[in-house]
Amino acid sequence: MEKKRKSSKKRKARKEVKKKARKKVVRKRVLKKKRLVKEGNPEIIKGAIVAGGAGPVEGEEFFAKEPPASNVFEGSPQAGYEGPAGEADEELEEESRDDFETEEFYKEEPEESPPKERSVIDIFKKKETQTNQFVSERVKRANEKEILGASKLISDIKGEVGKAFFGHEKVVESLIRALLCDGHVLLEGVPGIAKTLVIKSLAKISGCSSKRIQFTVDLLPTDITGLTTYDPNKGFEVVKGPIFANFVIADEINRSPPKTQSALLEAMQEKQVSIGKETHKLPPPFFVMANQNPLETEGVYSLPEAQVDRFLFKVVFGYPKQEHEERVMEQNVTFKKFEDIDLKTIASPKRIIAMQQLTHKVYLDDKIKKYLMKLVNLTRNKNFKYGEYIEMGGSPRASINTYISAKAEALLRGRAYVLPKDVDAIIHDVLRHRLILSYRAQAENVTPDKIIDEMLNIVRSS
């Protein structure tokens, strides 16, 4: 009898422990349900991410709504119960219902009160432990005010540039995007389409200094970087070259031999220049816009691959449309001074640097990383239709530059997060000069853009 009494006490104790555990689960579920009802459980706020299940990586639907709260009084594993619904669940409901309105109940299981207004940034800061959590809070994110301010400034810059350079809005966006990424741009196009004018306009509007270097066959590296001279009165002194400016225009860069072209390598990558025994920092932001003549073959030198890879973008553009060229004829800047164009300085180097830092805070999800890596890996694996025409695919700089450029594109569109279409918008500019094609591709007129289009079709359909 004594043993039976002891075993009965043990069973009762185990039941009490299980009952307390069940009550604790119910309390958490009820609190969560009340919080969701109080918040209104919004689905999407202006296309931003709501913590919840994420669907396939396809545009705006990539961000799914939050799943509805389950009924906490249903006897199911999803409601926190073990086993089918029955009398124990009904008894648990009755016993725990009286506790829901007491102060001790809320003190025992404190919960963070939800914010009064749910903004885009509030959604980004949700806890990682929440079900189907999409956004991590390990990295500091850009806030909504910063994004809107930067987007407004970028829009104003584009409007000012349009006073002097029009008909190629995509080119202007590529230059601004490269500036946000703290990168450099290689422009390729026929002569006389205002390549120099657009960079001079952008420099003036940004409040930055600009210098132009005309590359010729007899240009020396010291003509770009500077040199050490001796003055009988002052002794040795450094004479800095034209590269010491915020915006540098390298005009017809392929007219100089590789030795001269390589003078830009350290400046473009390290943002510094070595003159003699001293190293000098370049003024931030430092932006190189180089253009090359694609028509002539005599007296020109192909750019070394190490230098080409240091350009963030290669932008190719041709003649303007007829309506834009008519406006060019009316406002011909050839017969005007650049100073006569009414361009306003609406930014400063400090604001440009602040926007560059803001670009790094734009959120890019792991699924977007996998999406862009599939594109870059296709250039290396070559297991698709045009893969046989590729001799060498994209380097790690290709994936790095795609990553940061997609963030800049999102910021350009006024968003604090990256979508797959942002990757699609910049992938041509990033990979165009990094794909080394075979002679067979040139003979059969297979261009890098044609290969990239095929890669996008493959990745989208996979």
Q: What is the pLDDT of residues 177-202, one digit of tens each?
A: 999 999 999 988 777 778 888 888 89
Domain 144-357 and domain 362-462 have a common topology: no
Q: How is the chain split into domains, by residue range?
A: 19-42+55-118, 144-357, 362-462
C-alpha torsion angle, residues 143, 147, 150, 156 (rounded to 10): -150
Which position has the token pair 């599939």? 374
What integer pLDDT is reported at residue 246 of this predicted model? Answer: 93
Cα 215 from Cα 266, distance rounded (Å): 18
Q: What is the pLDDT of residues 351-395, one digit of tens each?
A: 999 999 999 999 999 999 999 999 999 999 888 888 899 998 888
Residue 64: pLDDT above 80? no
What integer pLDDT is reported at residue 352 of this predicted model? Answer: 94
The model scores a pTM over 0.75: no
More confident residue, 190 or 110: 190
Cα 388 from Cα 407, distance rounded (Å): 31
Of the pLDDT bands very low, low, confident and very high (cuts 50, 70, 90), residue 87 is very low
What mean pLDDT is predicted for residues 301-317?
86
Residue 69: pLDDT above 80? no
More confident residue, 119 or 449: 449
More confident residue, 29 or 295: 29
Residue 9: pLDDT above 50? yes
Ramachandran region, residue 58 (left: φ > 0; alpha: ψ -120 to 50; beta: rest): beta
Kindly state the percentage of the chain with pLDDT values over 90: 35
More confident residue, 452 or 69: 452
Cα 81 from Cα 74, distance rounded (Å): 8
Residue 107: pLDDT above 80? no
CATH number of 144-357: 3.40.50.300
Tell me the average pLDDT of the chain. Answer: 77
Residue 408: pLDDT above 90? yes
Residue 258: pLDDT above 50? yes
What integer pLDDT is reported at residue 2 of this predicted model? Answer: 62
Q: What are phi and psi of 291, to 5 degrees?
A: -130, 150
What integer pLDDT is reported at residue 55 of this predicted model? Answer: 40
Strands 436-437 and 390-392: antiparallel
* Six-digit token string for 66: 């939050």
Residue 448: pLDDT above 70? yes
What mean pLDDT is predicted for residues 396-414?
94
Q: What is the pLDDT of residues 142-184, one digit of tens each?
A: 888 889 999 999 999 998 998 888 778 889 999 999 999 999 9
Residue 269: pLDDT above 90? no
- Transcribe 133-191 into DSSP letters: ----SSSPPPPHHHHHHHHHHHHHHHHHHTTT--S-HHHHHHHHHHHHTT--EEEE--T
Q: Long-range contacts: 379-388, Cβ < 8 Å, 24+?
A: 379/431, 379/434, 379/435, 379/455, 384/454, 384/455, 384/458, 385/454, 386/441, 386/446, 386/450, 386/451, 386/454, 388/438, 388/440
224-233, 258-267, 336-345 — which is least confidently predicted? Answer: 336-345
Of the pLDDT bands very low, low, confident and very high (cuts 50, 70, 90), residue 315 is very high
Residue 110: pLDDT above 90? no
More confident residue, 28 or 40: 28
CATH 1.10.8.80 given to domain 362-462: yes
Residue 287: pLDDT above 60? yes
Of the pLDDT bands very low, low, confident and very high (cuts 50, 70, 90), residue 298 is low
Q: What is the pLDDT of residues 210-223, one digit of tens each?
A: 899 999 889 999 99
Residue 126: pLDDT above 80? no
Cα 114 from Cα 255, distance rounded (Å): 63
What integer pLDDT is reported at residue 100 of this predicted model? Answer: 38
What integer pLDDT is reported at residue 304 of this predicted model? Answer: 78
Is-contact 272 279, C-beta < 8 A?
yes
Residue 128: pLDDT above 50? no
Residue 457: pLDDT above 50? yes
